[in-house]
Amino acid sequence: MGDRESDIEHLERVFNEASAQPSRISYGALRLITQNFAVVIGSGGFGSVYLGKLQNGGIIAVKKLSSQREDVSYKQFLAEVDVLRRLNHKNIVRFLGYCADAHGEVMDVQGKIIIVEEQQRLLCFEHVPNGNLGHYIKEKSYGFEWSMRYQIIKGICQGLQYLHQERIYHLDLKPENVLLGAQMEPKITDFGLSRCFVGQKSTIITSNILGTMGYMAPELIDNQQISFKADIFSFGVTLAKLLLQSNEPLTQNWHQSLDDEDCPQMKMCVEIARSCTKRDPNSRPTIGEILHQLNKTEIMFQKVREVYEPSKDPQSSLFKV
């Protein structure tokens, strides 16, 4: 049996067994699984994400870091693998494996045939079928019942609580980094900027400020200070946009349009979002305190009779035939 076939079989075992550890996968195996990276299902500054199909019928997502940004992709790769290999939670996208290979391509350069070698760095994940939260907010006219939004809010909180208990700070939480599963369960993804903390230290000062403007905490921008409260600020902005059903930047008085809402749970979520986005990090709640507040209103939560899935809605841009 060739190395590619062996790698694919190993990946299939990881895919089928929830307790299995992520595996190293050859570049050749990933080219075969993705049909030479034929179908793009996502992209960003890091590179692109491709659809992969296993022989047992499983579907995966393969994130290929850009080879054009060697310094950034190398650091992101190491950071993301270090974080992802530690994670196992229903509200965190499942990590299946990685590839770190040098791959040579025969090329014609000014009439001379040469072999150009590139470092290939790829990450494999479970495929999450219903796009990301940013798409869901954008398509607010479809299936946007409050109970669905509450389910998403609660799931993000549970995933973030797990990360903070493991002393991992995400540092780029935003709607585009929350994927939605088959039952619209949220799964936090993209850990390229995340930090793992050891010992008793909970705050550090960094000179390398990366993130998404509009979601970055003020103390991170102004003082280069990293703590778990930076995630709380990002969660607050994400929560506010989900409540407003809008991807537009938040205004100072964003909550005023929601002040007349009758739903006690929604009012509670508005107050949570406001407290999370306070400028002083010491005034923001912990994720445990946020979940405690949500649980207090849980009895008022009414579940929808049918789960809406954009990938099955002909009116949605995510519809798949």
Considering 7, 172, 190, 231, which one is annotated as catalytic?
172
DSSP string, 223-262: H-EE-HHHHHHHHHHHHHHHHHT--SPPPTTGGGGGTT--
Task: Go through 144-182 and write b for each residue having 16 or more CB atoms within 10 A of its CB, e for each that does not.
Answer: eebebbbbbbbbbbbbbbbbbebebbbbbbbbbbbbbbe
- Distance between CA 129 and CA 135 in Å, rounded? 12
Is residue 172 annotated as part of the catalytic site, yes or no?
yes
- Distance between CA 37 and CA 290 in Å, rounded? 41
One-letter amino acid at 44 equals G
Total length of the chain: 321
What are the beta bridge partners of residue 65?
Answer: 47
Q: Is 64 labelled a binding residue?
A: yes
- Distance between CA 284 and CA 266 in Å, rounded? 19
What are the beta bridge partners of residue 48?
Answer: 43, 64
- DSSP 8-state assignment for residue 177: G
- DSSP 8-state assignment for residue 168: E
Active site residues: 172
Binding-site residues from annotation for ATP: 64
